[in-house]
Structure 1
Amino acid sequence: MSRVLRSNRGGRVDEVGSGAPAGGNGAAPRPRLEDVAARVGLSTASVSLVLRGVPGPSERTRQRVLKAAAELGYRPDRTASALASRRSRLLGVMVDIHSPFHAELVEHLHTAAEEVGYDLVLSTLTRTRDENTAVETLLAFRCEALLLLGPVAPASVLAELDRRAPVISVGRRIAGASLDVVRSADDDGVGQTVDHLVGLGHRAIAYVDGGKGVIATDRRRGYRSAMRRHGFDAHIGILRGDHTEEAGERAGRRFVDDGGDLPTAVVAFNDQSAIGLLSAFRRAGIDVPGAVSVAGYDDDALSRLAAFDLTTVSQNAEEQARQAVTAAVERLDQGRTVPREIVLVPSLVVRGSTAGPR
């Protein structure tokens, strides 16, 4: 007897396709649609319309049905509905469990999906679990579309995958591929950060890189372009890094151990790397922002904590999520076939980790 667990909002875990009879082990029978209908004195068809969010029933009727369903503890059997309609109404999301920004995106994706009658299945990337495994898991769960958060697979691989199920690349630019993209203008976001630091009086502004991949390339280009735009070619300095706090700490130690003059400001590929930088500087007794200003990218939950108070760039996770779900629904329910790219303008969030140079 097979069991599959699916995570829902609020930490609830539903059992899907268990093969176990409802109300087994002496438990009370699971409330049925007929029970809700009997409680409010309506037909099951009318109650079904309310619970599926279909227009028609009055607001008073809707409130009565929802109240009765809550009192009875009724929850729709999504598995039965999917079998009856031959549709799962599931959107598959590939997510990096180490990314605070991805976690925030998932929360907003849940909200956006529920508003249009879809649910999410999450498949994680870990140090030992690659993109191909994560994607194949989503397809095995009969996900109708795939929302891939920051995929690194080649564009040709993603285009081939799009022939199996609609693919929406969230956060990453896809050059020349016929699939949907929802992303932030990463080069512009880093450029805004450099502009902010220059406006404070900084000239020696260094950058901690994000490693390989399109997102890292775009942000690196944004740094170079902004420095050149301000005439600071001679001050361009890029340290090797990646998307982790450990990489930021290593970069911070290199700045300290070099023995030369520190840059007056450092921009990091993302907030995790920037937090690593802050930790390294503080352990070395270097005041931030007094001696060195530090800025990140993503505006994730950690950056907002008073302990870090990090100047960063917001990608507007809520709008990215809404646009990604909208793109999937347009492909699935409206039959759109022409790929779209939605590019959102990021915005600088100034906090206490940046100030004018001494």
Structure 2
Amino acid sequence: MDDGGSARHRNGTHKRPKLEDVATRVGLSTASVSLVLRGVPGPSERTRERVLRAAADLGYQVDRTASTLASRRSRLLGVMVDIHSPFHAELVEHLHTAAEEVGYDLVLSTLTRTRDEHTAVETLLAFRSEALILLGPTAPADALVALDNKAPVIAVGRRIAGAALDVVRTADDDGVGQIVDHLTGLGHREILYVDGGKGVIATDRRRGYRTAMRRHGQGDHVRVVAGDHTEGAGARAVRHLLDGPRLPTAVVAFNDQCAIGVLAALARAGVAVPGEVSVVGYDDDTLSRLSCFNLTTVSQSAREQARHAVTAAVERLDRDRIEPREVVLAPHLVLRGTTAAPA
């Protein structure tokens, strides 16, 4: 039999439990219950447990739309994410954790083949995102600065020289340099780079390859093949190499997705990795860790990037920090099974 706090009508239909129902169940004010359900510091741990248990028993769910409209603050961080990027997916997971720890939630807006950055950002603003965390934005720096006048912008993963914006990134040129250091240390000289196309991130990684090759006295062996961030680019690069007189002893790809395309194409052609050609990616995304790939790559410290991005947003929103700040994290090489000394 239902008790007095039940959300069932006598005719057998259900009505949605209200905040007042939870407050009645635990004998607290609606204000106190609201603090707990919004994750605001203040209530004791025992009170939090009682409220959360009562909410679960009653089937109460926070009406975010109503609470947002009733408040001048939404406590939402808008995140622009490329739906095709495994690395972005991992960043979002860590962003959720970091945001929840400080009483914020995320709104996601995706980039697709038919949905550009402008559309994605406008959606985030429409949902009253208080700050915008943009993963790998490609918009011009002046456009991002103008956007920052609407809501604080934190650009993740991309260097933005001279712009008054918060930036969280890793040193991409150093990361690729570590790859070249590793390969030359194994004895490789003919190290080919599959490029990432246009954009600042691709430019930095390409520069890192060229600089490291020259540093090791291999300037005459610098070779860059056009590509992008997809598996298809890696496969196309291999087809191009197979048409040439001989294969390089090592291939460095712009990112892990491109590197997986390289691995798959080499396997189809019967080329042993790493026996005949070593392959290295960049990002250390979830696919690179699968045993079927076991890809040597560079980690961008997704957890740390996410934590710094959320911290930057909260400092702008809650601590009135005005001056922009750039956080540059050191990448590190992750050695797995796709590199070895040249035959």
Tell me the TM-score normalised to structure 1 length.
0.90
| Counterpart position of 1:56 | 42
Q: Offset of 1:71 from its aligned partner? A: 1.8
SS of the residue corresponding to residue 353 of structure 1 reads coil
2:300 aligned with 1:322: no
Q: Which amino acid aligns with 2:117?
A: E
Q: Distance in 2 between matches of 1:82 and 1:331?
A: 20
- Judge which range, 67-76 or 346-355, deviates more: 67-76
2:282 aligned with 1:297: yes
1:181 to 167, 178, 194: 167
Q: Which amino acid aligns with 1:44?
A: T
Q: Residues 197 and 109 of structure 1: is their aligned pair in 2 closer, same or farther, counting only changes over 3 Å?
A: same
1:235 to 221, 243, 262: 221
Q: Distance in 1 between matches of 2:13 and 2:138?
A: 47
Q: Which amino acid aligns with 1:203?
A: R
Q: Offset of 1:196 from its aligned partner? A: 1.0
Q: How many residues align?
A: 333
1:267 to 252, 261, 264: 252
| Counterpart position of 1:102 | 88
| Counterpart position of 1:37 | 23
Q: Distance in 1 between matches of 2:197 and 2:232?
A: 13
Q: Which runs of 5+ in 1 are unaligned?
A: 1-22
Q: Which amino acid aligns with 1:283?
A: R
1:337 to 322, 325, 335: 322
List aligned pairs for 1:46-125, cutoff 5 A: 46-125=32-111
Q: Distance in 2 between matches of 1:124 and 1:57?
A: 36
Q: Offset of 1:80 from its aligned partner? A: 1.9
Q: Offset of 1:202 from its aligned partner? A: 1.1
| Counterpart position of 1:210 | 196
| Counterpart position of 2:5 | none
- Judge which range, 234-243 or 83-92, deviates more: 83-92
Q: Offset of 1:27 from its aligned partner? A: 5.2
2:121 to 135, 141, 157: 135
Q: Which runs of 5+ in 2 are unaligned?
A: 1-8
SS of the residue corresponding to residue 80 of structure 2 reads strand
SS of the residue corresponding to residue 289 of structure 1 reads coil
- Judge which range, 309-318 or 108-117, deviates more: 108-117
Q: Offset of 1:291 from its aligned partner? A: 0.1
Q: Is the 8 A contact 2:79 2:108 kept in 1?
A: yes
Q: Offset of 1:42 from its aligned partner? A: 2.5
Q: Is the 8 A contact 2:40 2:103 kept in 1?
A: no
Q: Which amino acid aligns with 1:125?
A: L
| Counterpart position of 2:205 | 219
SS of the residue corresponding to residue 173 of structure 2 reads helix
Q: Which amino acid aligns with 1:134?
A: A
Q: Distance in 2 between matches of 1:49 and 1:156?
A: 40
Q: Distance in 1 between matches of 2:221 and 2:79?
A: 41
Identical-pair percentage: 78
2:272 aligned with 1:287: yes
Q: Distance in 2 between matches of 1:287 and 1:324?
A: 41
SS of the residue corresponding to residue 266 of structure 1 reads strand
| Counterpart position of 1:18 | none
Q: Offset of 1:121 from its aligned partner? A: 1.6
| Counterpart position of 1:306 | 291
Tell me the TM-score normalised to structure 2 length.
0.94
- Judge which range, 207-216 or 75-84, deviates more: 75-84
Q: Distance in 1 between matches of 2:39 and 2:287?
A: 36
